[in-house]
Amino acid sequence: MRRASKIVNNKKIGVIGTGAMGSALIRGFLDSGLVEPCDVTASDLNINALQKLREQFSVNTTVNNLETVRKSEIVILAVKPGQVKAVLEEIAPAITADHLLISVAAGIKISFFEENLPAGTPVIRAMPNVPSLIGEGMSALVMGSSTVESHQKAAEALFAAVGRVIIVSEKEIDAVTAVSGCGPAYLAIVLEALADGGVKMGLSRQLALELAAQTMIGTGRMILNGEHPAVLKDRVCSPGGSTISGVHVLEKGGLRGVLLSAVEAAAKRSGELQ
């Protein structure tokens, strides 16, 4: 269990929307010891989802979003982008400058929240990715105009419970989305292709997937620990060896250019959705 952050400890947390990401955040907050179950209130229209949360985590649940806001100091909006406007209209009467609202709704700018909530409401935009579901996420945070240092530190502590956290400007968020938000899909394709290659050369599917997945995990951790990708590649590529032969095929196939283009296309599309 991670050590609880004093800045979040004993804070009342509300989560509106208990889908995959909302539930993952609640799990992370509790597993890390940041808050106790009695300090968390979750709301959703899905009665079955709320019942599952109560049974699994013993948190407070309600179908009333206003109740969640009134019981909370930090409100996390984890609904789909198309539901944001309606939810803001519903909860705005209960929101005050003493609340901190954190949105994980993709594509909705800070300005939209600040225009639809009472003046001075502290707002933070968060972009977590799918590995947050297992506590290995990468989250980017954008600060609103009314946030102060304590708001940032609280948000950092909360999202650190499900992985790594960085602070970015809103103009960077499309590129962040294209790399870490969309990246799991790109890497899953690469991993699957590696496993397919193993199967083609006689390995069982299970063994090939295990080899590819653990290799990807280990490589990522080495780079996060300071190893430069180019240095790591050169270390594995022995003169005249099998790795450099494989790298030659990848370069001929344009793997680098394809991935660069994928990030560029995803970033452009992310900007169009806002």
Domain of 50, CATH number, reads 3.40.50.720
Same domain? 150 vs 25? yes
State yes or no: pLDDT of 1 exceeds 60: no
Model pLDDT for residues 190-243, shown as the tens digit of each residue: 999 999 999 999 999 999 999 999 999 999 999 999 999 999 999 999 999 999
**117 within a domain of the structure (yes/no):** yes
**233 and 106, same domain (yes or no):** no
Q: How far apart are CA 16 and CA 161, in angstroms?
A: 18
- What is the rounded average pLDDT of the residues 50-72? 96
Report in angstroms the alpha-carbon separations of 111 from 115, 170, 181, 231, 248: 6, 10, 21, 42, 47
Single out the residue in 168, 199, 226 at which a domain terminates: 168
Q: What is the pLDDT of residues 82-141, one digit of tens each?
A: 999 999 999 999 999 999 999 999 889 999 999 999 999 999 999 999 999 999 999 999
Residues 59 and 103 in one domain: yes
In the predicted structure, residue 146 carries a pLDDT above the cut 90: yes
186 with 145, same domain: the answer is no
145 pLDDT above the threshold of 70: yes
Residues 6+ apart with CB under 8 A from 164: 137, 138, 139
The total domain count for the chain is 2
- pLDDT of 4 above 70: no
Asked whether residue 86 is domain-assigned, the answer is yes
Domain membership flag for residue 79? yes
Query: Do residues 38 and 147 both lie within one domain?
Result: yes
Q: Which CATH number belongs to the domain containing residue 231 in this structure?
A: 1.10.3730.10
Instruction: Determine contact, residues 95/65, Cβ cutoff 8 Å.
Output: no
Instruction: Note down the domain range covering 239.
Output: 181-273
Whether residue 55 is found in the same domain as residue 162: yes
Instruction: Give per-residue pLDDT as tens, 149-183.
Output: 999 999 999 999 999 999 999 999 999 999 999 99
On whether both 134 and 204 belong to a single domain, the answer is: no
pLDDT band at residue 6 using 50, 70 and 90 as cut-offs: low
Phi-psi sector, 226: left (phi>0), alpha (psi -120 to 50), beta: left
CB 183 within 8 A of CB 174: no
H and E: helices and strands count for the chain: 12, 8
- Which of 125, 143, 168 is at the close of a domain? 168
Give domain status of residue 6, yes or no.
Answer: no
Q: Is 0.85 surpassed by the pTM of this model?
A: yes
**pLDDT in the model for residue 273:** 76
Q: Which residues are registered as beta bridge partners of 166?
A: 140
**123 and 87 assigned to the same domain:** yes
In the chain, DSSP assigns E strands to 13-16, 40-43, 60-62, 74-77, 100-103, 123-127, 137-143, 163-167
State whether 127 and 259 are in the same domain: no
- Please tell me whether residues 123 and 203 are part of one structural domain: no
